[in-house]
Amino acid sequence: MSPKRNVTAVLLPGFGGTARQPLLLLLAKKLRAAGFEVAPLTLKRRKPDATLEVEVAQLERHVKGQGVWLGRSFGGRVCARLAVKSPPRALVLLGFPVRPFGKKRPLDEAALLQLRCPTLLLQGDRDLLAPLSVLRRLVKRNPRLTLEIIEGAAHAYGRHQSRVVERAVQWLEEIGV
């Protein structure tokens, strides 16, 4: 058993999901085993607008700028937006949907460029919601971003889910959180 870290890992699900998403449950288990306190959060369901103000405010009330944040898809968008103004110790974005089906999301792209905390993007090479060319361009412009590509994985990761979870926890340990 790993020693206690006194670091809280906040987990945010994808759109319309809950903290009971299988990926988040597996992530919570691995984070606890690595000594993290785990705080899963389910956002109130609503149709979000482009600013995500309501969701960002919900997250802000919950985290108070502490710990590390791990956001799955839509949850990652919310985490990135808040991290611009109140950075956590580290941020993990799991399947960041920066440009779904050619739809531009300039506020999400701007958030990635403005992040000042260590940030890991774990992205499937078959994820249609985030062209790797867009993410690579953004990563080149912000040295705090690290993009790791999961070969063969789509947006939901599928059979690659365990590898994604292992890598997220390993990266947090590597950067000394």
pLDDT at 2: 63
In the numeric block, which tokens belong to residue 41?
């959060």
Q: Note the Cα 93 to chain centre separation in Å.
A: 2
C-alpha–C-alpha distance, residues 92 and 149, integer Å: 13
pLDDT tens for the chain, residues 1 to 177: 566 778 999 999 999 889 999 999 999 999 999 999 999 999 887 788 889 999 999 999 988 757 999 999 999 999 999 999 999 999 999 999 999 887 889 999 999 999 999 999 999 999 999 999 999 999 999 999 999 999 999 999 999 999 999 999 999 999 999
User: Among the CATH numbers 3.40.50.1980, 3.40.50.1820, 3.40.80.10, 3.40.50.1370, which is that of 8-174?
Assistant: 3.40.50.1820
The continuous run of DSSP H or E covering 109 comes out as helix 106-114
| pLDDT, position 44 | 84
Closest CA to 91 of 106, 63, 71, 65: 71
- Position 4, amino acid: K
pLDDT of residue 62: 87
Q: What is the pLDDT of residue 65?
A: 59
**Domain boundaries defined on the chain:** 8-174
pLDDT of residue 49: 85
pLDDT at 10: 96
